[in-house]
Structure formats: C-alpha cells, structure tokens
Amino acid sequence: MKKLLVFTFLIIGITANAQYKFTKAVLTLNDGKTLEGEARLIRKGYGFNSTISEVTYRAGKGAKKTKYDAKEVDHIIFTNKYMQEVDGVEMTKTSFDRYVPVDTKRYGNPIFLQEIMKDKLSLYAQPVKNYKSKISTDIFPANLGEFTIVYIKREDASAELITVLGLEGVIQEKIAVDYLYPCPLTQQYVMDQGGNINAVELTNFYNKNCN
C-alpha cells in the first residue's frame, strides 16, 4: 500500500529549503547507528545542476561536525516548523520530512531526495533556489527562481526527472511514456491526458493499475 508522506507543493517549497541550514534531525546510518541532533544537507553546484550527496551532522550548536556521504546513510528525518493559515488564522505546524539516498539516471552517485511516496512507483522531490538560464526550454524554463524538481522511480530502475514545476506542475509527457513502458495502461493514460497531469496523479494511477 502506498505511503503518501507529503502531497502539496506549498509544504515542499517551505520546509525542504530548511534542510540546507542546521535543522533538528535524526540520521540513521547503514550500519543501524542512529544519530540525534542537527543536520544540514550540503548542496554542490548552482541552480538546476546542483546536487546533494552529503550531509553534515552535529549533536547540537557548537558541537563537533561530522560529514556523511549519501552512500553511508539509510535515511534522515528532519523536524521542521512552518506557518500555515487555518480558517484565517496563522498557525505553527510541524512536519517530519524523510530524506533518502536515491540513484538517479542523471547522476552516477546517489543523491539525497525528499521521499514523498514509496511504492511500486515512488515519488521524490528536490528544492532548487535561484535558477537562472540564458536558454529557455519546455522542460527547463529560464529564470524560475525557487522551484522543486520531482523524480519518479520504478523499483527496478534509477529515478527519472519528471518535472521541474513541483508536485502540482504538469509532467513531461514523453519522459513519462518512455520511462513507464512496463505498464502500457499508464502510458495510454498519460497520452490520453496529453501529459496534462501532475506527478502525484501519475504516481497514484501507476500504483493502482500496474503490477
């Protein structure tokens, strides 16, 4: 059964960027060791070409810092506070954001991505800040500012970038059709919609209708 951890672009946009500062977190390493304290993801590169393959941990402010590669980490749980309007009143909310190392088709080594949905077809996200380009394309528009890259991942394959427009943004039709060839029903669904669906809709359809 699918596990939907986060499902709105708003929460992704607010809380995910917090992980680039020291934030309350629990790291679980591949050897089973658990580290409680604060952590921040280390972003290398700029804009769309940035990657996050390392994390810095410390027990608390002023404590010794230790750097871990994504290959050493099983998962990270960040605890974030954010403001949300509820019935016209601003309230402080708490999210527990799970980051995991993910193999992607774009990069050779695993990178940290936020786990949104874990199932036969899984969904992951990566926030990017201040992206600017002299070249604008359908996939990568110029001057997006802050945005969220979204990946889908079959159980038997590396993750594929499906959109840079967040969880509510439309997917790339050709990429989805090519990547989801094990399930012709989903391919047909994408083509029938002309790609005019978002990543959550796509993932839910695949997991409901494909073996």
pLDDT tens profile 4-54: 444 444 444 445 567 888 999 999 999 999 999 999 999 887 666 678 999
pLDDT score at 204: 96
- Cα dihedral 23, 26, 29, 33 sign: positive
Tell me the two tokens of residue 95: 């999210």
Q: pLDDT per residue over 66-121, tens digit each? A: 999 999 999 999 998 877 888 888 888 888 999 999 999 888 789 999 999 999 99
CB 96 within 8 A of CB 11: no
**Where does the pLDDT of residue 139 fall: very low under 50, low under 70, confident under 90, or very high at 90 and above?**
very low
CA–CA gap between residue 120 and residue 51 (Å, rounded): 25
Give yes or no for a contact between 97 and 77, defined as CB atoms under 8 angstroms apart: yes
Q: How is the chain classified by DSSP, letter by letter?
A: --EE----HHHHHHHGGGGGS-EEEEEEETTS-EEEEEEEEEEESSGGG-EEEEEEEESSTTSPEEEEEGGGEEEEEEEEEEEEEETTEEEEEEEEEEEEEE-BSS-SS-EEEEEEEESSEEEEEEEEEEE--S---SSS-S--EEEEEEEEEETTS-BEEEESS-TTSBP-HHHHHHHTTT-HHHHHHHHHTTT-SBHHHHHHHHHHH--
Cβ-contact 73, 101 below 8 angstroms: yes
CB of 94 closer than 8 Å to CB of 84? no
From CA 116, how far away is CA 130, in angstroms rounded? Answer: 23
CB 148 within 8 A of CB 200: no
Average pLDDT for residues 149-160, to the nearest whole number? Answer: 95
